[in-house]
Structure 1
Amino acid sequence: MIDINSEKKIAVLIDAENAHYTVLDSVLKELSKHGHILVKKAYADWTADNLKNWKQPLNELAINPIQQFSYTQGKNSSDAAMIIDAMDLLYSKKFDAFALISSDSDFTKLASRLKESEIFVFGVGEKKTPIAFRNACDDFMYTEVLKERSVGKEETDTAIKKVSKPTPNEIRNKLRGDTKLVKILRGAANEYQDDEGWSFLAFCGSLIKRQYPDFSSKNYGYNTLSELIEATALFEIDRRVRDSGAIHIYIRDMRRNGA
């Protein structure tokens, strides 16, 4: 049994008028890795015809639909209802993490307010989500990436058969050609390097997440930051075994040795 006192207690709030029901299962599974979901609510004017396909996933995933009529055309009343509920949940002091599922920048202020109260904020939305909302969160996940990772093994195997797998050199060159990625990785490594140029990877990862909440190794097809860094071949990697048996990973910029 999960000890909810030892994990994040998460409230999931869904802007159904600015999200898609097909991502819900993948999103909830990902959030469950970070803690125990205590509340799941979806906000919309459920009388709208374009939301009729939400009924089945809401029932299957035990998400509570919150009805909010649109009083004025062009105004999203459900956003206000979601924000009010979020503040009520905040003041209950039962939660230490919120997940805001929306691609709408209107929730930027809410995310910032929650963080001011030392609440961890997950954001979940499409890649088109305005950068202000993404940066207001502690961790922002792209729904496109979550959907890609949830593709069944059978479909994945079929795709592999149809498309030739890129070589390690092709992958390396593509990653190195991403100037933003290279800048992020080298910048973090530079902040924590010791006299010999080695940086503790865990510290680098934490810094990257604080500076770029929407950064994830999964966005590049890798489960861990160490796998992504290894694929770039921009860094030396040193795995050090501690007395406890734990393995600490250190990285060093290849340029230090003229590579």
Structure 2
Amino acid sequence: MASKPSSSRQQKHLAVLIDADNAPAAIVEGLFEEIAKYGIASVKRIYGDWTKPNLGKWKQVLLDHSIQPMQQFAYTSGKNATDSALIIDAMDLLYTRRFDGFCLVSSDSDFTRLAARLREEGLTVYGFGEEKTPKPFVSACDKFIYTEILRAVAPEAPVEPVVNDGKAAAANEPAKPAGKPRPQKVPLDFIAQVLDDIADDDDDWVQLGVLGQNIGKLRPAFDPRLYGFKKLSDLIKGYPKRFELQARGSSASGGKDLYVRSLSTAK
């Protein structure tokens, strides 16, 4: 009888719940590419009042990404019934015990308690929201990804030649597409402090993966892409005066294990 594959080799099943009122449709491509890194999006639902014109951009991409729209009318002015519907569905899905984690896509702090409750059940919570997202919601997630780094740069519209004065020509120029956010300042002191805290007394070297895990526990929103680097190893390499990176032996996957140390504490 064939043995059942270990759970570590199985991909996680994730429920993706999107708050359409607090998430731009421009992130959809990058959103699901990012989610694919963590598991399979077994359920994809998006919540909003689809009778309103402000969700028009989301309507255009729902079929392409097989996202199920969940209609929620606003029963009372000034109250967000969409949040309540999303939370109720999340709890219903939680008790099916079919999922390993949830992806909550919103910049709304109202989902802070939901994220904490899901984690209390031992599930992994991935949050996706804009940089304006309140810190309590960010901290309530296991990992939080700012959606600015997921936005695709829109292609520029073709410009028809215009024979006119400078002012008229300027008026006919297309608006420049919104690109990715300007890289933030790298928290070098924070990274060095984490290295110092987890390094052995007799050895300054720390496995890069362990460093990344500990940084994520302390700052769920930490992401090398926010600072202009694709991976944590690239960020470390970018500051040779602060950190040293070393490849050792070979890992289980056949590659080499990467170790890092802070040069400020190196013996």
Q: Taking structure 2 as the reference length, what is the TM-score of the superposition?
A: 0.81
Structure of greater Rg: 2
Matched-pair contact (CA < 8 Å) for 1:190–1:199: no
Instruction: Give the C-alpha shift of residue 243 in structure 1.
Output: 7.7
User: C-alpha distance in 2, partners of 1:236/1:248?
Assistant: 14
Instruction: Give the C-alpha shift of residue 80 in structure 1.
Output: 0.1
User: C-alpha distance in 2, partners of 1:196/1:20?
Assistant: 46
User: C-alpha distance in 1, partners of 2:68/2:266?
Assistant: 57
Instruction: Give the C-alpha shift of residue 82 in structure 1.
Output: 0.2
Match of 1:209 among 216, 225, 243: 216
- Give the match for residue 29 of structure 1: 33
TM-aligned CA distance change 1:243 to 1:93, over 3 Å: closer
Quick one: which amino acid aligns to residue 12 of structure 1? V
Matched-pair contact (CA < 8 Å) for 1:41–1:64: yes
Instruction: Give the C-alpha shift of residue 151 in structure 1.
Output: 4.0
- Give the match for residue 96 of structure 2: 92
- Give the match for residue 190 of structure 2: 184
Matched-pair contact (CA < 8 Å) for 1:192–1:200: no
Q: Taking structure 1 as the reference length, what is the TM-score of the superposition?
A: 0.83
The alignment-based identity, stated in percent, is 43
- Give the match for residue 171 of structure 2: none
User: C-alpha distance in 1, partners of 2:220/2:47?
Assistant: 25
1:231 maps onto 2:238 in alignment: yes
User: C-alpha distance in 1, partners of 2:225/2:122?
Assistant: 26
Gaps of at least 5 residues in structure 2 are: 1-5, 157-182
CA RMSD of aligned residues (A): 2.3
Matched-pair contact (CA < 8 Å) for 2:236–2:244: no
**Which deviates more, 234-243 or 62-71?**
234-243
Instruction: Give the C-alpha shift of residue 246 in structure 1.
Output: 3.9
Matches within 5 A, 1:110-259: 110-147=114-151, 150-151=152-153, 178=185, 181-194=187-200, 195-233=202-240, 234-242=242-250, 245-256=254-265
Instruction: Give the C-alpha shift of residue 257 in structure 1.
Output: 5.2
Instruction: Give the C-alpha shift of residue 196 in structure 1.
Output: 3.4
Instruction: Give the C-alpha shift of residue 184 in structure 1.
Output: 2.1
TM-aligned CA distance change 1:192 to 1:87, over 3 Å: same
Matches within 5 A, 1:36-47: 36-47=40-51
Instruction: Give the C-alpha shift of residue 38 in structure 1.
Output: 0.6
- Give the match for residue 171 of structure 1: none
* CA displacement 1:29-88 (0-9 Å, x = unmatched): 110121111100000111112112321111211110000110000100010000000000
SS at match of 2:258: strand
User: C-alpha distance in 2, partners of 1:85/1:14?
Assistant: 11
Quick one: which amino acid aligns to residue 107 of structure 1? F
User: C-alpha distance in 1, partners of 2:251/2:124?
Assistant: 33
SS at match of 1:255: coil
User: C-alpha distance in 2, partners of 1:249/1:139?
Assistant: 22
User: C-alpha distance in 1, partners of 2:48/2:112?
Assistant: 19
Quick one: which amino acid aligns to residue 77 of structure 1? A
* CA displacement 1:81-137 (0-9 Å, x = unmatched): 000000000000010110000000000000000000011001000000001000100
Quick one: which amino acid aligns to residue 141 of structure 2? C
Matched-pair contact (CA < 8 Å) for 2:247–2:259: yes
